[in-house]
Amino acid sequence: MEKKIIITIGRQFGSGGKGVADALGKMLGIPVYDNELITKAAQDSGFSPDLFVQSDERRRFFSLSSIFAGNYASDTENYMSDKGLFKMQSETIRKIAEQGSAVIVGRCSDYILRDMGCTLNVFLTSPAEIRAQRVSDRSGIDYEKALDMLERKDKGRAEYYNYYTFGEWGKASTYDLCMDSSILGIEGSAEFIIDFARKAGKL
């Protein structure tokens, strides 16, 4: 590749974000970071990967019951540690971006790398019924449970993104390209993103 490019992928749960990211990585010959970010952030920080998994793309909140039960200090420490973990993961994302071209999935990477001129920020969506069916097939759960999972996962991702970026998760103006991945499929969506990147002068 002649130009360095960092493609960030925001996505609704079940929209095929990981599959599109992997296809992009294969087509462009560049590394893909999704769950790998958790492992790398843990390695960089010296903390257990379990800590990053617990706060991965979701925020933990106080509960009145825990405060009245005398667990306020414990919850405060969790809250503060989440912010610290976000900062450490952000540093890992910046290091990855500095090293060369990459595809980075989620974790507010579009916001974290907002000052880099080589980013292409993409958001993937698709109809709820298609996403639910994909999740049902992939996870072996029934369709109704998959629909509930979509709502919970997307709510968590939105809260996480909106809190740390002061932006709005999924809002079109936040990204360079928003697309329904169900129209072209996984491979077709990756090809479209690459074509878009070329026409935008990113490749």
Q: Domain containing 16 — which CATH number?
A: 3.40.50.300
What's the total number of domains in the chain?
A: 1
Which structural domain range is residue 24 located in? 6-199
Which of 51-60, 83-92, 111-120 is the most confident on average? Answer: 111-120
Query: What average pLDDT does range 131-136 have in this prediction?
Result: 96
Residue 55's pLDDT is 65
pLDDT of residue 168: 96
Q: What pLDDT, on the 0 to 100 scale, is given for residue 81? A: 63
pTM of the model: 0.86
Structure tokens at 24: 């992009």
**Per-residue pLDDT, 60:** 53
Residue 203 has pLDDT above 90, yes or no: yes
What is the pLDDT confidence band of residue 15, given thresholds at 50, 70 and 90? very high
Sheet containing strand 6-11, edge to edge, reads 32-33, 102-105, 6-11, 119-125, 177-180
Spell out a b/e string for 9-28, using b for 16 or more CB atoms within 10 Å of the CB, else e: bbbbbbbbbbbbbbbbbeeb
Q: Identify the CA nearest to 152 among candidates 177, 137, 135.
A: 135
What pLDDT is recorded for position 71?
41
Range with the largest mean pLDDT of 26-30, 72-76, 164-168: 26-30
State how far the Cα of 59 lies from the Cα of 151, in Å rounded to an integer: 15
Measured in residues, the chain has a length of 203
Measuring CA to CA, which residue among 44, 68, 42, 43 is closest to residue 55?
Answer: 42
114 assigned to some structural domain: yes
Average the pLDDT over 100-126 and give the result.
Answer: 96
Question: Does residue 1 fall inside a structural domain?
Answer: no
pLDDT: which is higher, 78 or 58: 58
pLDDT at position 80: 41
Average pLDDT, the chain: 86
Average confidence (pLDDT) over 177-186: 98
Torsion of CA 142, 143, 146, 147, to 10 degrees: -150
> Is residue 19 domain-resident?
yes
CB atoms near residue 136 (< 10 Å): 18
Q: Is residue 34 part of a domain?
A: yes
Q: Decide if 50 is inside a domain.
A: yes
pLDDT at 70 over 50: no
